[in-house]
């Protein structure tokens, strides 16, 4: 760290060159903090490999081979489980009020294969309410309305003024017009809760 003409400069040392040991340490540190799919972990590790190649001239092909071997070993040892990750992430996203379409897009963005995405959406039980049926999205839309205070959660005198905004908010989150209309058509939170429990 040094000062030059009133500016503070911090000398940032480049990361050390990547090898099998450092790659494994980075992978374990990442998995301690975040749940991950195998494709997402591979993407995270490949960023380190590319940075090492740029800063130190290491071989990116060798780094890619080390990454593939490490991810395969983690899958074999159970440190990574794409099916469990997809099911847990889908349940979490649904409870936060995400539609089936939004959940599928987010899981695909994390590199979860399509068949596991569909299986995870189908595995959510009726308590979570997201099977591939309209009622599942209804429960998720109700959760989003509660969290964002839309429709029946707004004061009665302002509901009509905000109806279009509330419809747009539900649409942006992947809900159909039919589901959005049903949620916003409820007179109060109790009615909405009763409708989603049917």
Q: Give the gyration radius of the chain's Cα atoms.
A: 23
Domain boundaries, the chain: 20-80, 83-197
> Which pLDDT does position 132 carry in this prediction?
38
> Which pLDDT does position 53 carry in this prediction?
93
> Which pLDDT does position 108 carry in this prediction?
96
Low-confidence ranges of the chain (pLDDT < 50): 1-2, 125-135
Mind listing the pLDDT tens digit for each residue in 78-128? 999 999 999 999 999 998 889 999 999 999 999 999 999 999 998 874 444
> Which pLDDT does position 106 carry in this prediction?
95
> Which pLDDT does position 124 carry in this prediction?
74
For the entire predicted model, the pTM comes to 0.74
CA angle 125, 130, 131 (to 5 degrees): 70
3-state secondary structure the chain: CEEECCEEECCCCCCCCCCHHHHHHHHHHHHHHCCCCHHHHHHHHHHHHHHHHHHHCCCHHHHHHHHHHHHHHHHHHCCCCHHHHHHHHHHHHHHCCCCHHHHHHHHHHCCCCHHHHHHHHHHCCCCCCCCCCHHHHHHHHHHHHHHHCCHHHCCHHHCCCCHHHHHHHHHHCCCCHHHHHHHHCCCCHHHHHHHHHC
């Amino acid at each position: 760290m040094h000062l030059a003409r009133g500016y503070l400069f911090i000398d940032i040392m480049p990361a050390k060159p990547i090898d099998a040991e450092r790659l494994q340490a980075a992978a374990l540190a990442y998995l301690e903090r975040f749940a991950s799919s195998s494709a997402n972990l591979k993407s995270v590790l490949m960023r380190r490999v590319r940075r090492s190649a740029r800063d130190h001239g290491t071989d990116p092909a060798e780094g890619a081979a080390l990454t593939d071997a490490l991810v395969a070993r983690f899958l074999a040892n159970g440190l990574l489980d794409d099916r469990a990750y997809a099911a847990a992430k889908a349940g979490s996203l649904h409870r936060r009020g995400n539609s089936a379409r939004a959940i599928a897009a987010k899981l695909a963005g994390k590199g979860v294969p399509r068949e596991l995405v569909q299986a995870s959406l189908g595995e959510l039980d009726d308590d979570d309410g997201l099977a591939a049926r309209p009622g599942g999205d209804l429960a998720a839309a109700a959760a989003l309305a509660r969290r964002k205070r839309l429709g029946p959660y707004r004061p009665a005198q302002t509901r009509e003024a905000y109806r279009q905004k509330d419809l747009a908010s539900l649409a942006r989150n992947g809900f159909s017009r039919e589901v959005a209309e049903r949620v916003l058509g409820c007179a109060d939170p109790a009615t909405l809760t009763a409708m989603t429990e049917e």
